[in-house]
Amino acid sequence: MPTTFLHTSFYWDNLIYFGMGPRKGPDGKLVFALPMGDRKLPGIGAEDIGRCAYGVFQRPDLIGKSIGIAGDHPTGAQIAATLGQAVSQPVGYYAMPFDDYRKLGFPGADDLGNMFQFKHDFEKEFCGARSVEFSRSLNPKLQTFAQWVASNKNRIPIQ
């Protein structure tokens, strides 16, 4: 049976549900921490994944293909700046070391630390396999990160 594989990206909804949004540091300033260094992180809103999947079903030429989707490819610093605009205060970016992230102690910290390191180390390949333009051809309503944040800023907890 022909199978189409849909490879998604980092879910921006993790900022809401997984507690990955900005946190107040010891100095009271907001910081967004992510172990990505200065590399880009392909991401997408969860609702856009469904819309892209629907677009795949409308394209018989994609049967049997392996495709990747993303709404945007921001860096950690760009994510922090966008979050800062949304909450009307500066948000700094902390490029957390991978090993420090793995030691955070929550369930799955090791796995997520490995995932972020893979995305960091293979940025060119990972981003290249997730074209925003192709994703938009599947879902004309595809949101950039800034658009997603504008629609969801009141749902992102500040810890």
SS (H, E, C) the chain: CCCCEEECCEECCHHHHCCCCCEECCCCCEEEECCCCCCECCEECHHHHHHHHHHHHCCHHHCCCEEECCCECCEHHHHHHHHHHHHCCCEEEECCCHHHHHCCCCCCHHHHHHHHHHHHHCHHHHHHCCCHHHHHHHCCCCCCHHHHHHHHHHHCCCC
Threshold 0.75, pTM exceeds: yes
The tens digit of pLDDT for each residue in 125-147 reads 999 999 999 999 999 999 999 99
Q: For the domain 5-153, what is the CATH code? A: 3.40.50.720
User: In the chain, what are the domain boundaries?
Assistant: 5-153
Q: What is the reported pLDDT for 71?
A: 98
Asked which of 14-23, 76-85, 120-129 is least confident by mean pLDDT, the reply is 14-23
Question: How sure is the predictor about 107, in pLDDT bands with cuts at 50, 70 and 90?
Answer: confident
The tens digit of pLDDT for each residue in 41-83 reads 999 999 999 999 999 999 999 999 999 999 999 999 999 999 9
Q: What is the reported pLDDT for 129?
A: 97
Q: What is the reported pLDDT for 45?
A: 97
Mean pLDDT of the chain: 95
Q: What is the reported pLDDT for 106?
A: 86
Would you say residue 19 has pLDDT above 90? Answer: no
